[in-house]
Amino acid sequence: MTLPQINNDYLIDFLVKLLNTPSPTGFAEQAIALVEKELSQFKQLKLTHTRKGALVAKWEGKSDSSPRALTAHVDTLGAMVRELKPSGRLAITRIGGLLLNAVETEGCWVFTSKGEKIRGSLLVNTASGHVYGPKASETKRDEEHMEIRLDAHTSSIQGSRVLGINVGDFVAFDPRVELTDGFVRSRHLDDKACVAILAAAIKTMVDSGLVPAQTVYFHFSNYEEVGHGAAAGIPADVHELVTVDMAAVGEGQESDEFHPSICLKDSGGPYHHGLSDKLRELADANGIVYKTDTYPNYGSDGEAFWHAGGDVAVALIGPGIDASHNYERTHTDALIATTQWILAYLLGD
């Protein structure tokens, strides 16, 4: 079997669009809508929503003797307004495992319940070097000591309320997407990189006139970063669930930014041995170079489905992402190789 040619530009273009669509967990409707609009061009897919808001795309295969599913998540880290402060600034509560030091001084949008958005940035509350001296660097970067400074005329609780801001409003941080020499640098490559990979795999199949060997469901999750994304929405007849999510790069890890990885164990324990071996054999047979790894501080949507009682084999593959949950980076080589791996899986028996 020779794998069809992947359209790299399509993958990157769609990825950039997705990265620039704010989607903190709980506020991912716009990103789900973007994916839905993109996939609606492929008439082979039957698109439905779960009640929780995930998007599921079903593609009838040559056989439906053992249906498969792949999941990737559009939701990202972010924050919510916790308090309107007497200064007019906003205290926040984190959504998912947001690292506050990683978004210090970052631009952000506050989305009001009336559908408006207000610009601001996140700062430590001892930000001025001239005023606070050594405290500016010594203050702990946590929820108690960081705040959103709004780019609006407000210096009181009432002033911020008049802008339409309330406790519970969503906050999205700028992704700061940059493409240089094959590198993709942005926040939230976890897991938008893999959503774009799934779209690119589907497009490649459609453009090449190919049909999946088995009926397959593509599940686009909207609550992964808080641990229960794919707990619902994977149909009961599915035999195998391949979670497509970032590989953890750092000291002691095999994963890197230029290859996909298969994760054999993370914080939730080992993945399914048989399905993991099957994916490794498929990669080997198709000349796809990958890393095997374990991730020390990591949970996945595949495990969320397991915890919800899903009786299915689960495996985890994905491109290496440097500085995950921080200012992330990967390389196009890893994105393309992961897409090839998924094509091999979709086409394989």
Minimum CB distance to Zn ion, residue 190 (Å): 4
Should residue 245 be labelled a site residue for Zn ion when binding is judged by CB under 5 A? yes
Q: Which is nearer to Zn ion, 148 or 314 (CB)?
A: 314
191 counts as binding Zn ion under rule CB under 5 A = yes
From residue 199, give the alpha-carbon distance in Å to each of 26, 72, 144, 192, 263. Answer: 22, 11, 40, 11, 22
301 part of the interface to Zn ion, by CB under 5 A: no
Least distance in angstroms from the C-beta of 173 to Zn ion = 16
> Smallest distance from the beta carbon of 134 to Zn ion, in angstroms?
37
The residues annotated as belonging to the active site are 224
Q: Which amino acid is at 216?
A: V
Of residues 192 and 203, the one with the C-beta less far from Zn ion: 192
Q: For the CB of residue 226, give the shortest distance to Zn ion in the complex, in Å.
A: 11
- Between 190 and 257, name the residue whose CB sits nearer to Zn ion: 190
- Binding pattern to Zn ion, positions 114-143, x when CB under 5 A? ------------------------------
Complex with Zn ion: residue 325 or 331, whichever CB lies closer: 325
DSSP string over 317-335: EEEEEBTTTSSEEEEHHHH
Give which of 209, 220, 224 is closest to 303, Cα–Cα. 224
Q: What is the CA radius of gyration of the chain?
A: 21
> How far apart, in Å, are the Cα atoms of 213 and each of 32, 219, 315, 318?
26, 18, 18, 21
Residues paired with residue 179 on neighbouring β-strands, in sequence order: 184
**Contact window for Zn ion (CB under 5 A) among 19-27, 93-101, 120-128, 191-199:** 191-199
Interacting residue ranges for Zn ion, rule: CB under 5 A: 190-191, 245
